[in-house]
Amino acid sequence: MTSVVVLGGGYAGMASAARLAKLGHSVTLLEASGQLGGALVPVREEGFTWDASATSTLLPAVMRDLFRKSGRPAERELELVPMDVVREHRFADKTSVAVPGGTRGAQLAAFDELRPGMGRLWTDYVARFSEDWEVLRQHYFEVPWEPSALPSAVAERFRSRETLHKRLRKTFKDERLRLVAAHPFVAAGQELRDVPAWAGLTAYLEQRFGAWRVEGGMGVVAEVLTARMATRRVSVQTATRVEDVVVRDGRAVAVSTAAGEIDLGADGAVVVAFDPRSLPALRPLVERTLPAIPPMTFHLGLESLPEHLTDLPDELVLHGEPTLVVRTRGLAPEGQHAWTIHSHGKLMEDVLLALARHPDRCPRARRAPGGPGRRRARTPLARVPAGREVGGARHGVPAPRAAHPDPERLRRRRPCDAGCRAAVRRPLGRAGRAVDRARREVSAA
């Protein structure tokens, strides 16, 4: 029996701990915050609940496999529901496409509605990733990483200098198709010129397997996996900040925490399930990587909605500057609604005003007292919970790297024209002050 210390109590950490414990190893799980779940922990306030990060999965079989191999099957713990529409894209020219999942034929028809012939362009693009998926699934995704024993087909893809940006420019003349194909990566804060072309296989996964959500939100997964830690007798230590992995003679021998060192023993092992940049011993291994810049995130509690907005898809993308992603499946009190909005790009105004600038694509707006240019959402917005950090992802401003929650970086905003209440995280330093100055200038204008 091997002694294993898992660092990080998010989805990856708990999944690793559950599988290792089921195999008979002695597992200790260390988590810096006061609870397990990481980015799966939802945001809650005054009866509203919002998913803090991911709201769906493209690989339900992976989740089912995790539960089956660590205890009770997923079907007895939670409900996975297929989404008819993965997301809907609405473009600046007022055209739109609702992308269905799990079926090539439906996608072909949906894109043909944009313009005849576009369906074939899209499905041909997606089909190119079939071989990429099979090669990487068999020899990379489902096997332990061993750089010296990579099959030639995998090594060929990893050595390729073709980027997703280059492939999209060559494949699609219509910008709308490029926007749809690039969206998952842009939404994650990636630079397309740094994304390898084969990573575009996410479009293949959406078409082949569809997108699946968890009934009740992704927080249910965190709750079930937390309970499984007890079932599998994993020793869980929350509120334990890991400072480094102690390495001697080329192997990990201990884990250094704020409270002292945890010895691994002669045959111990460490699983690092969070950003290794925070660990001095591992930082050199990732020094050539660049962190992704997450979007600004706003959680909205809506008291009511006009009828034409009650049947929006789970995810709606409003392309433009900034690009706004509206996720509509939060949990709310009876008759109310919980939305999450992600902003990508230059947002120098209240997010509600940004929505109001697109009355044909989002909640209708009307002029508010106070002079020209001042508008507010007609939909009464009740409340926005405090900007917060969940699982290392900052909510409220882009963050260059993961960090632990810092209450001093939260500041209440004045009530906005729409009558909402908000608290967003402000970045410290020169960039943060520049953003604050710009916001004040916009408000004054």
Q: Could you count the other beta carbons within 10 Å of the beta carbon of residue 109?
A: 12
At 368 the pLDDT is: 29
At 178 the pLDDT is: 98
Say how far apart CA 72 and CA 271 lie, in whole Å: 24
At 358 the pLDDT is: 67
At 64 the pLDDT is: 96
Q: Is pLDDT at 417 greater than 90 in this prediction?
A: no
The owner of tokens 């959500």 is: 213
Q: Is pLDDT at 409 greater than 60 in this prediction?
A: no
User: pLDDT (tens digit, 9 = 90+) per residue, 248-292?
Assistant: 998 999 999 999 999 998 889 999 999 999 999 999 999 888 888
| Residue 118 C-beta-side C-alpha neighbours within 13 Å | 21
Backbone angles phi, psi at 440, to 5 degrees: -65, -40
At 151 the pLDDT is: 93
Q: Which of 160-169, 172-181, 341-350 has the lowest mean pLDDT?
A: 341-350
Q: Could you count the other beta carbons within 10 Å of the beta carbon of residue 254?
A: 19
3-80+216-286 is a CATH 3.50.50.60 domain: yes
User: pLDDT (tens digit, 9 = 90+) per residue, 153-167?
Assistant: 999 999 999 999 999
User: pLDDT (tens digit, 9 = 90+) per residue, 346-395?
Assistant: 877 788 888 877 655 544 433 223 333 323 233 333 333 333 333 333 33
Can you give the pTM of this predicted structure?
A: 0.80
Looking at every residue in the chain, the average pLDDT score rounds to 83
Say how far apart CA 102 and CA 203 lie, in whole Å: 11
Say how far apart CA 239 and CA 258 lie, in whole Å: 10
Count helices and strands in the chain by DSSP H and E runs? 12, 24
Contact 203, 209 (CB under 8 A): no
At 321 the pLDDT is: 87
Q: Is pLDDT at 175 greater than 70 in this prediction?
A: yes
- Domain spans of the chain, in order of start: 3-80+216-286, 104-206, 296-444
